[in-house]
């Protein structure tokens, strides 16, 4: 509908209860509500917020052929879908030659179909988009322009959410210049610091406009909307925490009921279960370590070991041709050869062969901080004793036995916690960095 009589809409809303009205909204965009659960209905409703709320930024990533872009292309006359993702600053924001405002000044909503293909022909395109998404304005030439269009990013994921959470981030489908840019991604939904507050308020506003256009709702109905909005924003922050570390540490969103001053925390359902470091005792020779991979991201790595009769050789698999990783393994084995008897008289490096497999569990490139976890894995398999349950080994060791402290201790401990570790083995050289670790992370 190109025109809506708001007064008529407000009056008509009174004839329906909440569930009936939710179904009507879904049918208006071609969705059959009987086919969806109650939660799924609210998630589909979220697609409509950019059409009723100015400067609202939304991203939806999901399987193919699930109607993610249908609303913006076929249903609303006030939105435009950019297929393929390629555009220019002049087309999207402002054409300096013609002195005309681009799509953000002409439409209520600008949607990008298939985020993996987003490309700007102009090198400053992403930066201008970041400025606009944060403030609703952008500078071109000597002038600053203001526009109200919302931004929507639609894309496909080729793996399950569970696999994505373990191996990368939910923003993996974005092109690299956007998918790892925390400043850009933080604009999605728009830090409860200031940016978080703005994001949640806008989302609440959008849901209220859609569900209760007459402004009549109960405390319970408002609380339901606040919980959904906090969940949506926390989902963005959880992924930013993976990419940006302690800058985005505070993801424990809550709201306070002013009637009884009770505080209620909101979580994201997909964060539970499926931890990389499982509960329970591991097999002898199995060790988990957390450190920075070749890509520069912090992640979890697993070592699995075997011991066979032999003459003192070590074989390593999973490292490819990386010389630094191989050198770290050699450091651990040579240290064990020189100091095995001091650790335990039961360890033999002359009548046994050892095989260790290294696994990069999150696809971030193998770490070269492997000497200490390798040494512990070798001792574990040689003695036939597992390490303590839910343990992550941090730090490294030199050939002389000098302990090397953990880089970025706070960020590393956060990854340990998120990955399921309940205990960490930390070199004493890292104790000086404990002051940089938030108190609630230390007590987790």
Q: Residue 389 pLDDT more than 80? A: yes
The pLDDT assigned to 385 comes to 93
Contact (Cβ atoms closer than 8 angstroms) between residue 49 and residue 57: no
Pairing of the two strands 143-146 and 137-140? antiparallel
Q: Which of 51-65, 165-179, 278-292, 427-441 has the lowest mean pLDDT?
A: 165-179
The pLDDT assigned to 105 comes to 87
Dump pLDDT digits (tens) for 133-181: 888 888 877 778 888 899 898 888 776 666 666 555 666 656 655 545 5
The pLDDT assigned to 213 comes to 93
Q: Which two tokens stand for residue 38?
A: 């109650």
Rounded to a whole number, what is the distance in angstroms from the first to the last CA of the chain?
52
395 pLDDT band, cuts 50/70/90, is: very high
Chain centroid to CA 139: 30
Distance from C-alpha of 106 to C-alpha of 80, rounded to nearest angstrom: 9
Please identify which residue in the block is written with the tokens 């800058």.
247
The pLDDT assigned to 128 comes to 83
Dump pLDDT digits (tens) for 416-439: 888 889 999 999 999 998 888 877
Distance from C-alpha of 263 to C-alpha of 369, rounded to nearest angstrom: 42
Average per-residue pLDDT for the chain: 84
The pLDDT assigned to 191 comes to 38
Contact (Cβ atoms closer than 8 angstroms) between residue 415 and residue 388: no
The pLDDT assigned to 324 comes to 94
44 pLDDT band, cuts 50/70/90, is: very high
Distance from C-alpha of 78 to C-alpha of 243, rounded to nearest angstrom: 34
Contact (Cβ atoms closer than 8 angstroms) between residue 428 and residue 420: no
Find, among 383, 273, 289, 269, the residue nearest to 329 by Cα: 289
Contact (Cβ atoms closer than 8 angstroms) between residue 118 and residue 155: no
Q: Three-state DSSP class for 79?
A: strand
Q: Residue 125 pLDDT more than 50? A: yes
Q: Residue 9 pLDDT more than 80? A: yes
Contact (Cβ atoms closer than 8 angstroms) between residue 280 and residue 386: no
Contact (Cβ atoms closer than 8 angstroms) between residue 370 and residue 402: no
Q: Give the largest CA-CA distance in the chain.
A: 88
Percent of the chain scoring above 70 in pLDDT: 85
387 pLDDT band, cuts 50/70/90, is: very high
Q: Residue 270 pLDDT more than 70? A: no
Q: Residue 190 pLDDT more than 70? A: no
Q: Residue 331 pLDDT more than 80? A: yes
Mean pLDDT value across residues 208-229? 92
Q: How crowded is residue 1: how many other Cβ atoms within 10 Å of its Cβ?
A: 9
Q: What are 143's strand-pairing partners?
A: 140
* Buried residues in 344-370 as b, exposed as e (16+ CB within 10 A): eeebebeebebbbbbebebebebbbbb
Distance from C-alpha of 188 to C-alpha of 58, rounded to nearest angstrom: 6
Distance from C-alpha of 382 to C-alpha of 404, rounded to nearest angstrom: 24
The pLDDT assigned to 138 comes to 83
Distance from C-alpha of 85 to C-alpha of 278, rounded to nearest angstrom: 40
The pLDDT assigned to 179 comes to 46
Q: Three-state DSSP class for 390?
A: coil
**Strand ranges of the sheet holding 150-156, from the earlier edge strand across to the other edge:** 57-62, 150-156, 109-113, 79-82
The pLDDT assigned to 258 comes to 82
Contact (Cβ atoms closer than 8 angstroms) between residue 377 and residue 289: no
Distances from the Cα of 42 to the Cαs of 18, 46, 207, 216, 316, in angstroms? Answer: 12, 6, 9, 19, 50
Contact (Cβ atoms closer than 8 angstroms) between residue 436 and residue 402: no
Q: How many CA atoms lie within 13 A of 315 on its CB side?
A: 10
Mean pLDDT value across residues 385-398? 94
Q: At residue 412, what are phi and psi to the nearest 5 degrees? A: -65, -45
Considering only residues 264 and 313, tell me which one the structure prediction assigns the higher pLDDT. Answer: 313
The pLDDT assigned to 268 comes to 73
Q: Which of 202-216, 225-239, 299-313, 357-371 has the lowest mean pLDDT?
A: 225-239
Mean pLDDT value across residues 323-344? 94
Contact (Cβ atoms closer than 8 angstroms) between residue 136 and residue 95: no
């Amino acid at each position: 509908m190109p025109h809506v009589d708001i007064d008529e809409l407000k009056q008509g809303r009174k004839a329906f209860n909440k569930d009936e009205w939710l179904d009507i909204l879904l049918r208006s965009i071609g969705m059959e509500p009987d086919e969806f659960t109650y939660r799924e209905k609210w998630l589909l409703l979220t697609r409509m917020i950019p059409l009723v709320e100015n400067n609202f930024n939304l991203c939806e990533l999901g399987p193919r052929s699930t109607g993610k872009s249908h609303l913006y292309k076929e249903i609303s006359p006030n939105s435009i879908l950019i297929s393929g993702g390629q555009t220019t600053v002049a087309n999207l924001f402002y054409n300096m030659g013609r002195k005309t405002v681009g799509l953000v000044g002409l439409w209520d909503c600008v949607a990008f179909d298939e985020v993996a293909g987003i490309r700007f022909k102009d090198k400053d395109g992403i930066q201008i988009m970041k400025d606009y998404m944060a403030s609703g304005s952008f500078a071109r030439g000597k002038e600053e322009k203001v526009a109200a269009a919302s931004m929507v990013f639609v894309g496909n994921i080729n793996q399950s959410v569970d696999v994505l959470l373990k191996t990368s981030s939910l923003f993996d489908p974005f092109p690299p210049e956007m998918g790892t840019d925390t400043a850009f991604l933080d604009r999605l939904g728009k830090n409860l610091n200031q940016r978080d507050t703005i994001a949640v308020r806008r989302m609440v506003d959008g849901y209220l406009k859609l569900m209760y256009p007459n402004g009549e709702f109960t405390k319970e109905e408002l609380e339901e909307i606040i919980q959904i909005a906090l969940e949506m924003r926390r989902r963005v922050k959880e992924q930013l925490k993976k990419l940006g570390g302690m800058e985005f540490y505070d993801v424990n969103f809550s709201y306070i009921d002013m009637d009884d001053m009770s505080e209620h925390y909101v979580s994201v359902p997909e964060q539970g279960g499926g931890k990389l470091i499982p509960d329970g005792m591991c097999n002898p020779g199995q060790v988990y370590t957390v450190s920075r991979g070749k890509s520069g991201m912090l992640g979890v790595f697993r070592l699995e070991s075997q011991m066979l009769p032999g003459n003192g050789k070590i074989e390593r698999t999973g490292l490819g041709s990386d010389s630094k990783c191989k050198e770290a393994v050699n450091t651990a084995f040579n240290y064990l050869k020189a100091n095995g008897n001091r650790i335990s008289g039961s360890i033999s490096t002359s009548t046994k062969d050892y095989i260790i497999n290294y696994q990069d569990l999150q696809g971030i490139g193998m770490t070269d901080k492997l000497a200490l976890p390798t040494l512990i894995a070798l001792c574990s398999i040689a003695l036939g004793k597992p390490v303590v349950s839910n343990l992550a080994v941090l730090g490294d060791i030199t050939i002389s036995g000098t302990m090397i402290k953990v880089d970025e201790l706070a960020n590393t401990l956060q990854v340990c916690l998120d990955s399921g570790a309940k205990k960490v083995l930390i070199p004493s050289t890292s104790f000086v960095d404990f002051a940089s670790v938030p108190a609630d992370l230390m007590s987790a």
